[in-house]
């Protein structure tokens, strides 16, 4: 390495004899090249393997997430299908029960106490509070107080 530097110094002295700082420039160029070589070696020996390990671990995690997502969907589909089937069964039972109640021979008979209690209960909800039928029920006739929600 010092022979190379000596040759460079001699070449500079012959080519430009009036250059005072040629020797400093030659040393600076050699130092920059040496720092570059050391930096590349550090990257090659230390940073590149760490980055390769990180990339491999990330690829493994991504593959596991992809498999897990598919497995979760595979397990969720039967549950969703079963819930939908149960909802249809409940809807059928409710509509059959509603039809049976409405088709009963005494379905049109009003039971005064029950219908008043149902109306009063519905009027407690804010959704029905502004309804004209609920306006008269805001005050309980038994003197208990306003029929408002807690």
For residue 101, tell me if it sits in a domain.
Answer: no
- State pTM to two decimals: 0.34
Question: Do 10 and 53 fall into the same domain?
Answer: yes
Question: Do 52 and 84 fall into the same domain?
Answer: yes
Question: Do 69 and 131 fall into the same domain?
Answer: no
The yes-or-no verdict on residue 119 having pLDDT over 50 is yes
In whole angstroms, what separates CA 69 from the centre of its chain?
13
Question: Do 25 and 65 fall into the same domain?
Answer: yes
Total domain count, the chain: 2
pLDDT digits (tens, 9 = 90+) for 64-118: 888 887 778 888 888 999 999 999 988 888 888 878 877 877 777 776 667 677 7
- What range defines the domain where residue 122 resides? 111-150
The yes-or-no verdict on residue 142 having pLDDT over 60 is no
pLDDT digits (tens, 9 = 90+) for 12-63: 677 766 665 666 777 889 999 999 999 999 999 999 999 999 999 999 998 8
The dihedral sign for the CA sequence 103, 105, 109, 115: negative
Question: Do 79 and 130 fall into the same domain?
Answer: no
Q: Show the CA angle centred on residue 116, arms to residues 114 and 117, nearest 5°.
A: 65
């Amino acid at each position: 390495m010092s022979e190379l530097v000596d040759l460079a110094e001699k070449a500079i002295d012959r080519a430009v004899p009036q250059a005072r700082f040629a020797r400093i420039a030659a040393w600076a160029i050699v130092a920059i090249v040496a720092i570059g070589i050391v930096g590349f070696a550090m990257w090659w020996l230390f940073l590149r393997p760490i980055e390769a390990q990180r990339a491999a671990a990330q690829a493994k995690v991504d593959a596991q997430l992809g498999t897990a997502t598919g497995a979760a969907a595979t397990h969720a589909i039967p549950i969703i299908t079963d819930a939908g089937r149960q909802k249809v069964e409940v809807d059928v039972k409710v509509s059959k029960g509603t039809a049976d109640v409405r088709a009963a021979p005494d379905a049109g008979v009003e039971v005064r106490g029950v219908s008043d209690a149902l109306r009063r209960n519905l009027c407690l909800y804010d959704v029905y509070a502004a309804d004209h039928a609920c306006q008269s029920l805001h005050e309980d006739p038994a003197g208990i107080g306003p029929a408002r929600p807690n």
